[in-house]
Amino acid sequence: MKIDSHGKTVVITQDKLSLIEFYKKFLVLYERFKSEDIIIHLTDSSLGSLECFSDLVSKHIIAKHCFVVVSIELNQEDFENFIIIPTLHEAHDFIEMELMQRELGL
């Protein structure tokens, strides 16, 4: 697991862990990042189900923070509760737009 901070956004990259192992490690660190916008960069989404993140994503969004999953293997249409974006650059752009909307009260 690799962690990079960019202002109020943190990027957490999956290394050679299954999604369940990655989720368990992420859950331990979540308190540290709960007030930041989070980008989860998945390098191999075939190693488990993304659904383990579902409750945490909902909680994070209710707290008015972004939770974005970056994966070229996953399709946004297949996930109702997640924001799936294919590249890190697009994820940062998405969060930037969300921040502008928050500031405007939209």
- Look at 74 and 89; give whichever has higher pLDDT: 89
Categorize the per-residue pLDDT at 13 as very low, low, confident or very high, splitting at 50, 70 and 90: very high
51 alpha carbon, distance to own chain's centre: 13
Answering whether pTM is above 0.95, one says: no
Q: Which structural domain range is residue 39 located in? A: 2-104
